[in-house]
Amino acid sequence: MLKIRSITVSDFGPFKGEQKIELPKEDGVVIVYGENMRGKTTLLNAIRYALFGKVLTRGSGEIQLHQIGNWESAASGKYGFHVVLAFEQNGDAYQLTRECRVRPGIARPMSDVDYIEESFLTKNGSAMGPDEATLELGRIMPETVSRFFLFDGELLQQYEELLRSESDMGRQIKDAIERILGVPVLTNGRADLSQLHQLAQYQEAKAAQRNQKTQQLGNLHAELLGRREAMQQESARLRQDLERLKVNKTAREEQAKKQEQLRALLGQRERLQEEISILEAKIAEREERRKNLLTTAWRSILAPKVTALREQIVGQLRDLREQATRRLVQVETTEAIRRALSNGNCSLCEQPLAEHTKQRLKERLVELGSRAQGTDFDGEIHKLETRISHLRQQKTDNSIAVLREISIAIDDFRVTKTTTEDRLRDLKEQTEGLDESELRRIYGEYEKAVQEIAIVEKGLKAQDDALATINTDIIRIETELVKKGGSDLQKERKRREMSEGLRNLFDEGVKVYRDKLKAKVEKDATELFLQLTSEPDYAGLSINNSYGLTIVHKDGNSIPVRSAGAEHVVALSLMGSLQKNAPLRGPIIMDSPFGRLDSVHTRKVIHTLPSMASQVLLFVYESELEPKLARNELKGGLRSEYRIVRHSARFSSVEKAV
Amino acid sequence: MPYLGTRKTEGHMDILSTILELRQTRHPSLPAELVKEIVSIETDFAEDRAEGFKRVNQALERYLNTSAGNDQC
Amino acid sequence: MTEDKKTIGLTAENRSVMERIMDKGFFRDQKDAAMFAMAYAIRQGLPGGNAEGTNTIWNVGSLDPDGEIRLLIGNLFPDTSTPYRVVESFVNAGLLQIGFRMDKEPGIEITDLLGEAALTE
């Protein structure tokens, strides 16, 4: 178990002069508080520098050594820097110093070449030789697994790569995880024993060739082994090609995926343009119909009046005809009375009229006479009949309801058109400057990569088949040799059989151990995750072949996409699980791990940290992790607090909080 | 045996126990001590493959010579 | 007796109303809009009367080639002996009212005016 005892930096980054952080022997958490740009990440980098001679930027790029020294010291003519890391492992005390100093004769260094870099390691007070030191450090903390101990909270996206196993980064991380879990012990063993087995086969073939009894078999054996070696080399070459092509294909796939979205957008754009054209045609057609209808709509508008008028005139005509009829009756009555008065007899019974009757008839005649004057009924009736006829002839038009419907339809189409035009405008912005030939090129390259992979895979299969055949032949020969060979071949045979047996053992061991590990990593990561998450619907984590972890909902489905906060929690769960299962144990050192977490999750992480590793070192800023919260959650587990104090923009110091 | 037991961690024990269990169940003719030694070498020289291979080869030869000697006795 | 008009015209104010109506794109030509305005005015029961200061736009022959309008106006207003003068006055009264409506209700469409109940009904 690696445990850091102290970190001493001198003129490193903003840390002018010598600054030291001491970590206690006991298990627990040490927190270093510092505002942004004061040097928290620099301290993480100091540890990285001491162990591996590298200082990384946020984007994982290396910083030149020349840029690392403290500026204020440099301004006063003091160049260079050093870091001392004191640590323990399995009872041994180490002190690792790495320094960068100006080459003699250089007054003012301008680049890395003006510096000499040296490192030395002491173990239990005694200096180790450089090669020995390199080996020792490689055993204690291999660089390839350092990412699981020196954890930069900002670099989370690497863990997404684990879910895409064919990406270069994904494979690197998978290899790193397997390394930290000890898998190379078995895979290297398998590779070494495989090689030893092949060598043993050659030795057996040579021995057989030396003996007359087995010479022919020996020659054949040797020849087959030679051919097999060539095939294996060819297989290895093809496998390398395949790896390269797959990485290339993944990259093209990524490009094509981005283009796929753009291609879909382009398609959508065309469809929208078509939709708009159709709508415009519909609008134009309806507007034309509306114009046609409006040419005669005035009739519809006046129709009620015309109808009412016609009815009115019909009524007038009826009245007038009645009047005319009455008038006719009056005229006939007048005539009858005149005739009666003229001949002195009643026109009905023809009896002579009495005097009083004659008088009454004369009075009646006067009365009727006065009523008969006035109206020219015929004329008036004719006028009214003419008007009615004209009104009946009036052309009809029932277009109002239709006009209304058409107008509503036009408005609807216009609204739809405006919405569609807005969508099209957005799409046009998204697809501005798109070069379609670029799209074709990318798809072309992707297709080509797919075809090349198919060809290589086919070749590899053929090669593997041929290898299987030749291995069968080799086994057959070896079986023959066992029968025919004497005691002089026994040693070679034993060597061959032993190395083969061991190789098979280690081969099986790799599979079994990997499966065991994955199950364990998944179980431990799930346990941690459930402690860290506040979401009650999450059932746990599920692991893929690349050690990528997916969140599993309690309904059994995977959660495909994660927020940065969720990514954080999953990454921490993985780290904790790897710590628990790795043969290598060490501290967890984290820079700004809570930036993307809310207070609930921050509290949970703090609470869980001591169970994840026996030594935890945190570089945080106060608004990310309140000191009070940390103290409450960790209680006795919090061993010490430090603060990075600003003296100037280029000078910070580390002070222990009392 | 120079490499055993001194600085090995729990994790290493897990690799060893896995492989020894497999040996017992599926390859009982393989010598347990040699298997342990190979695991130890591969653990110590994970970063130095050339040295690792050399030492595994040596371990195998040593075993074969000892066995051969025993056979002759 | 007043002579009937041989041309129909619009007041200056109504010429600009006509332009605004035509801008809305509902009518094929100004004639159609004029007929609409006339019918609208009659239907709404707006007062007719002399339209002062009109400038000639149409010849009655082009507005009413088969005399249908003259007959109709003659029937609707039997007392008049100058149906085309009546047409002109209602055209202008209708346009004026429509212009007023467009000022009051900027979003109003021509089809909104269709079939509205007459003021006097």
pLDDT digits (tens, 9 = 90+) for A121-163: 999 999 999 888 888 887 788 777 777 777 776 665 566 666 5
The nearest CA of chain C is from the CA of A297 a distance in Å of 7
B3/B36 Cα distance (integer angstroms) = 9
pLDDT on residue B72: 40
- In the complex, which subunits touch C with 3 or more CB pairs below 8 angstroms? A
Q: What was the pLDDT predicted at C117?
A: 46
Do residues A66 and A111 touch, judged by C-beta distance below 8 A? yes
Number of helices (H), then strands (E), in chain C: 5, 2
User: A392-401 pLDDT, tens per residue?
Assistant: 877 777 788 8
- Residue of A3, A145, A503, A505 to mutate for B, most B C-beta atoms under 10 A: A505
How many whole angstroms from its chain centre is CA B7? Answer: 16
Of A531, A536, A278, A254, give the one whose Cα is nearest residue A413.
Answer: A278
pLDDT at residue number B69: 47
Is residue C44's pLDDT more than 50? yes
Assess whether pLDDT exceeds 80 at residue A620: yes
Partner residue opposite B42 with nearest CB, options A90, A138, A188: A188
Q: Which residues on neighbouring strands pair with residue A638, listed in sequence order?
A: A29
Residue A50: predicted pLDDT: 92
Separation between Cα atoms, residue A535 and residue C81, nearest integer Å: 91
Across A478-492, A609-623, C29-43, the highest mean pLDDT is recorded for: C29-43
DSSP string, B5-67: SSS--HHHHHHHHHHHHHHHHH-TTS-HHHHHHHHHHHHHTTT-HHHHHHHHHHHHHHHHHHH
Q: Which burial class, exposed, middle or buried, applies to A554 when counting CB atoms under 10 A from its CB (0-12, 13-18, 19+)?
A: exposed
Segment A323-339 shows an average pLDDT of 88
Q: What angle do CA A632, A633, A637 make, to 5 degrees?
A: 100
Task: Kindly tell me the burial class for residue A230, based on how many C-beta atoms sit within 10 Å of its own C-beta (0-12, 13-18, 19 or more).
Answer: exposed
Q: Which residues pair with A79 in a beta bridge?
A: none
- Considering the domain boundaries, does residue A495 fall inside one? no
Distance CA A415, CA A55 (A): 60
Give the angle A6-A8-A9 at the CA atoms, nearest 5°. Answer: 150
A342 within some domain: yes
| Contact residues of C toward A, CB < 8 A | 25-28, 32, 35-36, 38-40, 42-43, 68, 71-72, 74-76, 78, 109-111, 114-115
Question: Using the 8-state DSSP alphabet, how is residue A94 labeled?
Answer: E
In this predicted structure, the answer to whether residue B73 has a pLDDT above a threshold of 60 is no
Residue A140 is predicted with a pLDDT of 82
Average pLDDT value for residue range A592-616: 85
A102-111, A243-252, A581-590, A624-633: segment of lowest average pLDDT: A581-590
Rounded average pLDDT over C40-46: 91
Would residue A67 count as lying in a domain? no
What pTM, to 2 d.p., does this model score?
Answer: 0.55
Chains that touch A (3 or more CB pairs under 8 A): B, C
φ, ψ for residue C105, nearest 5 deg: -125, 85
Return the SS3 of A120.
strand
* CA angle, A344 then A349 then A351, to 5°: 40
List of residues 6+ apart from A383 with CB closer than 8 A: none
CA atoms of C110 and A76, how far apart (whole Å) = 86
Question: Which of A547-556, A592-601, A639-648, B43-52 is least confident?
Answer: A592-601
pLDDT band for position A658 (cuts 50, 70, 90)? low
Q: Touching check for A304 and chain C: CB below 8 Å?
A: yes
Touching check for A635 and chain C: CB below 8 Å?
Answer: no
Number of H helices, E strands in chain A: 16, 15
pLDDT digits (tens, 9 = 90+) for A180-216: 778 889 999 999 999 999 999 999 999 999 888 889 9
pLDDT digits (tens, 9 = 90+) for A175-189: 777 877 788 899 999
Q: CA A205, CA A218: separation in Å to the nearest integer?
A: 5
Residue A599 pLDDT grade (very low, low, confident, very high; cuts 50, 70, 90) = confident
Strand order in the sheet with A549-553: A538-543, A549-553, A558-559
CA separation for the pair A376, A374 (Å, rounded)? 7
Is the model's pLDDT at B1 over the cut of 50? no
Interface contacts A/C by beta carbons within 8 Å:
70
Q: Which pLDDT does position A46 carry in this prediction? A: 92
HSE, side-chain direction, 13 A CA sphere, residue A347: 12
* Chain A positions in Cβ-Cβ contact with residue C27 (cut-off 8 Å): 291, 294-295
Banded pLDDT at A293 (limits 50, 70, 90)? very high
What's the CA angle centered on A12, arms A6 and A16, to 5 degrees? Answer: 95
Report CB contact under 8 Å: A291, C28. Answer: yes
Residues C80/C86, Cβ–Cβ less than 8 Å: yes
Among A93-102, A221-230, A514-523, C87-96, whose mean pLDDT is lowest? Answer: A514-523
The confidence score (pLDDT) of residue A545 equals 80
Q: Residues of A at the B interface (Cβ-Cβ below 8 Å)?
A: 1, 89-90, 135, 138-139, 142, 179, 181-182, 184-186, 188-189, 192-193, 195-196, 491, 494-495, 498-499, 501-502, 504-506, 508-509, 512-513, 516, 581-585
Q: Calculate what percentage of chain A has a pLDDT beyond 90.
A: 35
Among the listed ranges A57-61, A374-378, A612-616, which one has the minimum average pLDDT value? A57-61
> Closest-CA residue in chain A for B23?
A505
Tokens linked to A613: 């590793």
Q: What is the pLDDT of residue C49?
A: 58
> A489-493, A505-509, C53-57: which has the highest mean pLDDT?
A505-509
Q: What is the pLDDT of residue A373?
A: 63
Of B10, B53, B64, the CB nearest to A192: B53
Q: Which chains touch B (3 or more CB pairs under 8 A)?
A: A
Over the Cα atoms of chain A, what is R_g? 52
Residue % of chain B over a pLDDT of 90: 59
Token digits for A115? 């510096």
Position A276 confidence tier, pLDDT thresholds 50, 70, 90: very high
pLDDT score, position A160: 60
Q: Do B22 and A512 touch (CB under 8 A)?
A: yes
- pLDDT for A196: 96
Give the number of domains in chain A: 1
Among the partner residues A287, A301, A309, nearest to C75 by beta-carbon distance: A309
- C118: pLDDT strictly greater than 60: no
ipTM: 0.93
Structure confidence at residue B5 (pLDDT): 29
Parallel, antiparallel, or unpaired: how do β-strands A588-591 and A150-152 relate?
parallel
Residue A587 within any structural domain of the chain: no
Confidence grade of residue B10 (pLDDT, cut at 50, 70, 90) = low
Q: B22-29 long-range contacts, Cβ below 8 Å, gap at least 24?
A: B22/A505, B22/A508, B22/A509, B22/A512, B23/A505, B26/A505, B26/A508, B27/A501, B27/A504, B27/A505, B29/A501
pLDDT digits (tens, 9 = 90+) for C95-112: 999 999 999 988 888 888
Q: What percent of chain A has pLDDT over 70?
A: 94
Check which CATH number belongs to the domain holding A338 and give it. 1.10.287
Distance of alpha carbon A99 from alpha carbon A113, whole angstroms = 14
Give the minimum alpha-carbon distance from A135 to chain B in angstroms, rounded to a whole number. 8
State the pLDDT confidence band at A427, using cuts at 50, 70 and 90.
Answer: confident
Over range A323-331, report the average pLDDT: 88
Instruction: Assess whether chains B and C touch, using the rule of 3 or more C-beta pairs within 8 angstroms.
Output: no
B19, A501: Cβ pair inside 8 Å?
Answer: no
The Cα–Cα gap between A609 and A459 comes to 51
Residue A377 confidence class, pLDDT cut points 50, 70, 90:
confident
Per residue, the 3-state secondary structure of A478-523, as one string, reads: HHHHHHHCCHHHHHHHHHHHHHHHHHHHHHHHHHHHHHHHHHHHHH
Predicted local distance difference test score (pLDDT) of residue A509: 95
pLDDT value, residue A108 = 86
Average pLDDT over residues A434-456: 85
Question: Is B43 in contact with A138 (Cβ distance < 8 A)?
Answer: no
In a domain, A178, yes or no: no
CB neighbours of residue C35 within 10 Å: 26
Tokens of A114: 């003006």
State whether residue A287 sits within 8 Å of chain C by CB. yes
Cα gap A583→A565, rounded to integer Å: 29
Cβ of C42 within 8 Å of Cβ of A302? The answer is yes
Q: What is the pLDDT of residue B68?
A: 62
Tell me the residue range of the domain where A385 lies: 297-398
**pLDDT of residue A494 exceeding 90:** yes
- Indicate the average pLDDT of chain A: 86
